[in-house]
């Protein structure tokens, strides 16, 4: 998972980051120090001690005073700041972007990808943080299995699958995963993805909003029986959501939902046959198929144990 610095950098992929469990060998740190000179972040190869970083601290030198500013406001990242994006952060993003052409030129593809994820996606990372706050607020009073935790698991599943699918737009995938239940008809009475659009409008381009909404609309099981989403991002988010209806968590969610709606145990068990046991054969991506096989086996083992313990009526 990402480890966000106050400015939106992702420490988890940063080659300087050495906090547990992200320790680096002396050789790796030296390579990073050489890389830092190559891309112009330093004017000489600094020592391993100097290049190693254990994350932002208020006492660290920060050109934009981001850490101090967030500490003063009592927030973790700029995403929670009402003044975001302020002049200082606009400058920070512009300066970061100015390094990108040089990095592209002198780095290997692998080095560039690491730098991109660690530093050049600050704004996208902060946008994702804002989306998480938005859905947490939206689902504040939901406890029946369609809640913030479900959404975060779907996002985790989606990003895990996205790593193995080339050509996938990670930002579209992540935002669609986070907003996939924002207008769920079981929870909200909205039209035309109103809740998702309320968050997205003004934050990203109109054509990307349409792509995200199309992706969200292809996820629902009941509304898309037998239909394969047209886009890769849609197929990934659909798989991610369906995986969360399987395995141990799928069982827990089924009974939580049944309890919330006053359903007897037997009725919840029927839901396994109507939906959960069918999901294994409806996965789109290879990664999801593998994950689904394990979760399906757990569902079957649970049902056979339950069958033994229940009584015939």
Binding site for Ni ion (CB under 5 A): 181, 241
Nearer to Ni ion, 9 or 151 (CB): 151
Closest CA to 86 of 11, 7, 10: 7
Give the end-to-end CA distance of the chain in Å, rounded to a whole number.
Answer: 47
Q: Which long-range contacts (CB under 8 A, 24 or more apart) does 294-302 make?
A: 294/247, 295/243, 295/246, 295/247, 295/250, 296/246, 298/246, 298/247, 298/248, 298/251, 299/246, 299/247, 299/250, 299/251, 299/272, 302/251
Closest CA to 140 of 101, 187, 94, 100: 187
- Strand, coil or helix: 25: coil
Nearer to Ni ion, 174 or 181 (CB): 181
Nearer to Ni ion, 239 or 241 (CB): 241
**Min. distance of Cβ 187 from Ni ion in angstroms?**
10
CA distance 118 to 5: 10
**Min. distance of Cβ 186 from Ni ion in angstroms?**
10
**Min. distance of Cβ 202 from Ni ion in angstroms?**
25
Nearer to Ni ion, 25 or 222 (CB): 222
Nearer to Ni ion, 10 or 241 (CB): 241
CB-CB neighbours of 259 under 10 Å: 14
**Min. distance of Cβ 148 from Ni ion in angstroms?**
11
**Min. distance of Cβ 180 from Ni ion in angstroms?**
6
């Amino acid at each position: 998972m990402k480890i966000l610095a106050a400015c939106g950098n992702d420490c988890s992929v940063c080659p300087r980051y050495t906090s547990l469990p992200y320790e680096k060998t002396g050789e790796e740190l030296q390579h990073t120090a050489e890389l830092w000179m190559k891309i112009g972040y330093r004017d000489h190869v600094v020592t391993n001690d100097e290049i190693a970083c254990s994350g932002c601290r208020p006492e660290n030198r920060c050109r934009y005073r981001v850490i101090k500013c967030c500490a003063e406001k009592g927030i973790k990242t700029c995403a929670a700041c009402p003044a975001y994006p302020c002049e200082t952060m606009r400058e920070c993003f512009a300066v970061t972007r100015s390094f990108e052409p040089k990095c592209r030129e002198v780095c290997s593809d692998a080095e560039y990808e690491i730098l991109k994820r660690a530093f050049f996606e600050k704004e996208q990372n902060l946008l994702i943080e804002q989306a998480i706050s938005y859905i947490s607020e939206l689902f504040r009073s939901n406890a029946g299995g369609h809640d913030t935790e479900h959404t975060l698991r779907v996002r985790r599943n989606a990003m895990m699958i996205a790593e193995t699918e080339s050509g996938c737009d990670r930002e579209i995938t992540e935002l669609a995963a986070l907003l996939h239940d924002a207008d769920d008809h079981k929870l909200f009475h909205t039209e035309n993805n109103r809740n998702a659009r309320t968050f997205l409008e003004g934050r990203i381009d109109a054509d990307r909003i349409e792509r995200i909404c199309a992706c969200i609309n292809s996820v629902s099981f009941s509304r898309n029986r037998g239909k394969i989403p047209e886009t890769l991002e849609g197929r990934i988010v659909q798989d991610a959501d369906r995986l969360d209806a399987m395995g141990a968590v799928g069982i827990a969610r089924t009974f939580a939902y049944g309890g919330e709606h006053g359903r007897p145990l037997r009725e919840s068990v029927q839901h396994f046959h109507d939906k959960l046991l069918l999901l294994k054969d409806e996965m789109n991506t290879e990664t999801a198929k593998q994950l689904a096989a394990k979760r399906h086996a757990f569902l079957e083992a649970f049902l056979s144990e339950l069958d033994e313990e229940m009584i015939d009526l």
